[in-house]
């Protein structure tokens, strides 16, 4: 992983097709190794979460190439490797695990990112109706010792909920995403893949809860 991050830092400085072409062989070696690590991570997560079983690594990981068709930012390459672990892989709309290893951010995540309005309304209804279960999950020490919320929020309560609602903080959220920030030293261990799998495991109850709306 240290080699991957070193390459990505160089790519961030030289984010153009000419440089990338000249260093494509190095990229291919690092990318293949990282995808093998991700494949193993998927297997370890699948040991405790059936939603990850049968997920192919090609359906989990994102390409290095940016979609610049409608963007003012014309840099052709991402400066991070990332992947989704959960039913449907990177195309899922369900609560899932996400690993992001990049120049600007190193993080593990879990939850639902940018849900469409009908789904968001269902999630709010679920949290309101099953508040005790929701609070027990997000206040578990295994969560609070590792993760923080990274969610956009409304300035006022959504329609239909009183201003003084005890779960106002969560009902205002536009997404339900927990994040664990890492530093590069995190990978200074015998098996960082196993460490990531262990740190993702506390998120499973949250996935199970949020995914009630899909049943």
Structure tokens at 41: 């991570």
| Predicted local confidence at residue 67, as pLDDT | 87
Which ranges constitute the DSSP H helices of the chain? Answer: 2-13, 17-22, 24-46, 57-60, 117-129, 131-138, 141-144, 168-171, 192-200, 204-210
d(C-alpha 162, C-alpha 37), whole Å = 47
Write out pLDDT tens, residues 1-21: 999 999 999 999 999 999 999
Domain total in the chain: 1
Q: Which domain holds residue 128?
A: 2-214
Residues of the chain with pLDDT under 70: none
| Predicted local confidence at residue 176, as pLDDT | 98
User: The domain that contains 170 carries what CATH number?
Assistant: 3.30.930
pTM value is 0.94
| Predicted local confidence at residue 199, as pLDDT | 98
| Predicted local confidence at residue 94, as pLDDT | 96
């Amino acid at each position: 992983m240290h080699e991957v991050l070193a390459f990505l830092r160089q790519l961030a400085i030289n984010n153009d097709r000419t440089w990338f072409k000249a260093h494509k062989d190095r990229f291919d070696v690092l990318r293949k190794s990282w995808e093998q690590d991700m494949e193993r991570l998927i297997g370890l997560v699948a040991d405790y979460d059936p939603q990850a079983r049968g997920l192919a690594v090609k359906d989990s990981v994102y390409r290095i190439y940016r979609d610049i068709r409608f963007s003012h930012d014309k840099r052709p390459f991402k400066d991070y490797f990332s992947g989704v672990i959960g039913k449907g892989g990177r195309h899922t709309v369900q609560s899932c695990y996400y690993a992001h290893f990049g120049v600007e951010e190193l993080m593990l995540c879990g939850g639902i990112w940018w849900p469409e309005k009908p789904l968001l309304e269902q999630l709010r209804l679920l949290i309101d109706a099953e508040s005790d279960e929701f609070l027990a999950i997000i206040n578990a020490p295994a969560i609070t010792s590792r993760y923080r919320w990274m969610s956009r929020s409304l300035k006022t309560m959504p329609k239909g909920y009183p201003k003084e609602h005890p779960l106002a903080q969560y009902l205002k959220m536009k997404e339900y995403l927990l994040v664990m920030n890492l530093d590069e030293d995190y990978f200074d261990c015998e098996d960082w893949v196993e460490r990531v799998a262990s740190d993702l495991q506390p998120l499973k109850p949250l996935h199970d809860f949020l995914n009630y709306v899909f049943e």
